[in-house]
Copies of this chain bind each other. A is one copy, B any other.
């Protein structure tokens, strides 16, 4: 999967990510994966649902994966949940 087909969800407003996805689909991409960790998981689902319902009605969820990642920092290790949502048209 080319790197430009992945959207990492962070602290920007939800609609920024939605518009980035719609733009990529308009550039002849046929699938995009939305990745998020921790509290951003809820926002990732919002992004996917808004994209599908308001902009790309023909898009489908071709894969939804849940996982746990181990984050290592100066203060120790932390398990954090993650989601990967692949939208395909």
Alpha-carbon separation in the docked complex, A53 to B70 (Å): 13
How distant is the Cα of A41 from the Cα of B83 in the complex, in angstroms? Answer: 11
Closest CB-CB distance, A1 to chain B, in whole Å? 19
Total count of chain A residues near the partner, CB < 8 A: 19
A89 neighbours in B (Cβ, 8 Å): none
- Nearest B residue (CB) for A63: B64
Say yes or no for A18: interface residue by CB 8 A criterion.
Answer: no
List 11 other contacts, CB 8 Å, given A38-B42, A45-B66, A64-B66: A39-B42, A41-B41, A41-B42, A42-B81, A46-B81, A49-B68, A49-B81, A53-B68, A61-B66, A64-B64, A66-B85
